Structure 1
Amino acid sequence: MDTHKITTTWQGKMQFDSTNPSGDTMRIDAGPENGGEGKGFRPKALMLSALAGCTGLDVASLIEKMKLEVTDFRIDTEGDLTEEHPKTYHTVRLDYHFYGNNLEEKKLERAVNLSVEKYCGVMEMFRQFAEIEIKIHYHHQ
């Protein structure tokens, strides 16, 4: 069984430094509206980054395995929060953008679907509490 361990240490005010199993550290901070200085990542937004990063790694790996020609690729992610506390994401939208001269749309769609439906563990966790909306955009250059 794999276990991920991180250590999150208070740095004063509303700031924390959090380690990662890779050894990297990131700063977490609240926004000014919540007593912070906005000098770090916000926890809920980090969840969206984790989701996009997880599916992005899957898709990048599949692009390589399928030998697809993609010159650029990004994922725009938005999460809608509930009105009441504790505020949680109820709907999350991921827009996959692929750029290239020779985009094989069916194969790229398959890569996204494999990530969304089979490989991305963070996606599966999000499904427990949010509706997930996926869109794929092709930008032929």
Structure 2
Amino acid sequence: MEITMKQVGSMAFYTKTPSGHDVHVDASPKVGGMDSAPRPTELVLIGLAGCTSMDVVSILRKMKVENYTYEIVVSAERAEEYPKVFTAIHLKYIFKGKELPHDKIEKAVRLSQERYCSVSAMLGQVAKLTYEVVYEEE
């Protein structure tokens, strides 16, 4: 996998992903940016949420789990000193529906975290990664 990123503004950059999608990043005005796009660290958390969510939904689909809504909340703490890496990341998987199959949902989340999500595996090498599953029965 390879990308080429080009500067397109003071602190703004652009790339086209290997899958053909446009991605822009920028910095805040206090460090010379224009706040025209997400920060790279925000995209890291978005990548984490997307990676594990795709795993979980795919696994649940294979388990024939239907009729639920899903969202994930990712909270992160960063070091105070540069390079200000993530030190702790918490994932809250939220499922809403009637008669939710807790055992299947928890298995799907566990498989994503322990086996399939490459972003979780990478970030777990540098940050304390925790998660919980929340059920909102309707």
Interval of TM-score (by shorter of Structure 1 and Structure 2)? over 0.9
Superposed CA RMSD? 1.0
Q: CA deviation at 1:19?
A: 1.4
Q: CA deviation at 1:131?
A: 0.1
Instruction: State the identity %.
Output: 38
Number of the residue aligned with 1:131: 128
Number of the residue aligned with 1:80: 77
If the length of structure 1 is used for normalisation, what is the TM-score?
A: 0.93
Q: CA deviation at 1:71?
A: 2.7
Q: CA deviation at 1:80?
A: 0.4
Amino acid at match of 2:16: T
- SS of the equivalent of 1:12 reads coil
Residue of 40, 62, 67 corresponding to 2:37: 40
**For the residues of structure 2 that align with 1:126 and 1:88, how far apart are their CA atoms?**
10
Tell me which stretches of 4 or more aligned residues in structure 1 moved more than 2 Å: none
List aligned pairs for 1:1-141, cutoff 5 A.
4-141=1-138
Amino acid at match of 2:127: A
Amino acid at match of 2:87: H
**For the residues of structure 1 that align with 2:67 and 2:30, how far apart are their CA atoms?**
40
Q: CA deviation at 1:34?
A: 2.0
Amino acid at match of 1:126: L
Amino acid at match of 2:103: K
Q: CA deviation at 1:40?
A: 0.5
**For the residues of structure 2 that align with 1:56 and 1:76, how far apart are their CA atoms?**
11
If the length of structure 2 is used for normalisation, what is the TM-score?
A: 0.95
Q: Where does structure 2 lack aligned partners over 5 or more consecutive residues?
A: none
Count of matched residue pairs? 138
Contact 1:69 1:100 in 2 (8 A): no
**For the residues of structure 2 that align with 1:127 and 1:77, how far apart are their CA atoms?**
14
Q: Where does structure 1 lack aligned partners over 5 or more consecutive residues?
A: none
Q: Write out per-residue CA displacement over residues 29-78 of structure 1, whole angstroms, 9 at most, x where no aligned residue.
A: 01123221211011011111111111111001011101112431111101
Q: Write out per-residue CA displacement over residues 80-124 of structure 1, whole angstroms, 9 at most, x where no aligned residue.
A: 010111110000011001111231011100000000001111111
Q: CA deviation at 1:7?
A: 1.8
